[in-house]
Amino acid sequence: MNRKENCFLNEDCIEGCKKHIKDNSVDLIVTDPPYGINGHTLHKHYNRKEGYVLDGYIEIPQNEYPQFSEQWIKQAERILKPGGSIYIVSGYTHLIDILNALRKTKLKEINHIIWKYNFGVFTKNKFVTSHYHLLYYCKPGAKPTFNTYCRYGQNERDGGNGSLNYLDREDVWIINREYKPGKIKNKNELPTNLLTKIIQYSSRESDVVCDLFLGGFSTARIAVGLNRIAWGFELSASAYKHGMNEFSRVKKGALLQTLRKPEGGKLVNQGIRWSRKDLEEIAEKYDKLYQSSKLKRQSIDILSEELGRGYFSILNALKKMGR
């Protein structure tokens, strides 16, 4: 595949990767493998009109799931660049198979994220399942892309004075599924907000984002909307045809203008050592702010903005000066 062009193939991803994707060529993989549970049960659980659920979704028999997971995850490891990231969506049924397969690779665990969604499958005599696992791993050998301030600036606060950046980077994500009444959909289409968040944090514009199980092509549509290059595979002919049709409406980069702009200046002095004079100056400025009845947190935010240094850097400097 060519790094400058989107490419989607109606093929099995394991053989397809071997045939078409070179070692170390993908920046980010976001993928949602088949669940290995009976398809009809899934339709019933989600209580949807069969006519609207896309047929041709290809499942993996339960007894083949461990080996299948090992095979595609091995390919994912091979095609990722050193420093490249992979996010795998998994329900709990086959989580163990995916984790076992990951442990057979050199991929490094970064986070085990819980994605909490709405409309969990209703149950009466037990708790309602309303989460998926998002397994975030990186390939060793280079620094991974992680755009810490891509969505919220360092000093942005919510009404209760909590850091919005911190909240956005907690490992429980509450993101609702999208409900598209009357529209043909893949059974398990991932929400735009979930994919946008992953792609914003773990890739840059023009990077290659690959999805081995395209389904409704949601990863590809969001990646290209965010001005990335998308590659992927879908084995089902009908899902592929429908996905290609949906994808044809995507405008490259069109989603960029919908993104929230993080507030706050650049941390121009981040990482620079504090001199004795700097420390004395900051202590003096802090005392003045504090006396003018500013709270400690507010004072540090103001100093951070003014001095182009991070919150914790200022906090440590003040500690050194006995504040």
Please say which residue, 107 or 239, places its beta carbon nearer to ligand SAM.
239
Which of 267, 250, 253, 255 shows the shortest CA–CA distance to 301? 267
Q: Does 234 bind ligand SAM (CB under 6 A)?
A: yes
Q: By CB under 6 A, name the one of 188, 196, 202, 299 that touches ligand SAM.
A: 188
CA angle 132, 257, 186 (to 5 degrees): 35
Nearest distance, CB of residue 240 and ligand SAM, angstroms: 9
Instruction: Work out whether 239 is an interface residue with ligand SAM (CB under 6 A).
Output: yes
Our CB check for ligand SAM shows the closer of 228 and 309 to be: 228
By CB under 6 A, residue 84 contacts ligand SAM = no
Report in angstroms how near the CB of residue 64 gets to ligand SAM at its nearest.
11
Nearest to 89 by CA among 62, 69, 105: 69
Does residue 236 bind ligand SAM (CB under 6 A)? yes
Nearer to ligand SAM, 13 or 318 (CB): 13
Q: Report DSSP state, residue 176.
A: P
For ligand SAM, the binding residue among 235, 250, 300, 303 (CB under 6 A) is: 235
Which member of 37, 42, 58, 184 binds ligand SAM (CB under 6 A)?
A: 58
Cα torsion 234, 240, 245, 251 to 10°: value is: 0
Binding segment for ligand SAM among 134-142, 150-158, 213-221, 264-272 (CB under 6 A)?
213-221
C-alpha–C-alpha distance, residues 84 and 28, integer Å: 6
Burial level of 178, CB count in 10 A (0-12/13-18/19+)? Answer: middle
Give the nearest distance from C-beta 32 to ligand SAM in angstroms: 4
Angstrom distance (rounded) from CA 131 to CA 152: 25
Q: Which listed residue (215, 225, 286, 317) binds ligand SAM by CB under 6 A?
A: 215
Residue whose C-alpha is closest to residue 213's, from 2, 16, 6: 16
* 233 forms part of the interface with ligand SAM (CB under 6 A): yes
Stretch that binds ligand SAM, among 166-174, 188-196, 260-268, 285-293 (CB under 6 A): 188-196
Report the length, in residues, of the chain: 323
Residues in contact with ligand SAM, total (CB under 6 A)? Answer: 19
CA distance 98 to 76: 12
34 is a site residue for ligand SAM (CB under 6 A): yes
75 lines the binding site for ligand SAM (CB under 6 A): no
DSSP string, 223-283: HHHTT-EEEEE---HHHHHHHHHHHTT--TTTTGGGSPPPPS---TTTTPPPPHHHHHHHH
Give CA–CA dist 214/58, Å, rounded: 11
- Residue 301 contacts ligand SAM per CB under 6 A: no
Q: State which amino acid sits at residue 162.
A: G
Judged by CB under 6 A, which stretch of 103-111, 145-153, 235-243, 290-298 contacts ligand SAM? 235-243
32 near ligand SAM (CB under 6 A)? yes
The torsion region of residue 56 among left (phi > 0), alpha (psi -120 to 50) and beta comes to left
> What is the closest distance, in whole angstroms, from the C-beta atom of residue 133 to ligand SAM in the complex?
14
Q: How far apart are CA 77 and CA 296, in angstroms?
A: 46
Give residue number: closest CB to ligand SAM. Answer: 215
Under rule CB under 6 A, residue 136 binds ligand SAM: no
Q: Which residues are near ligand SAM by CB under 6 A?
A: 12-13, 32, 34, 57-58, 186, 188-190, 213, 215-216, 218, 233-236, 239
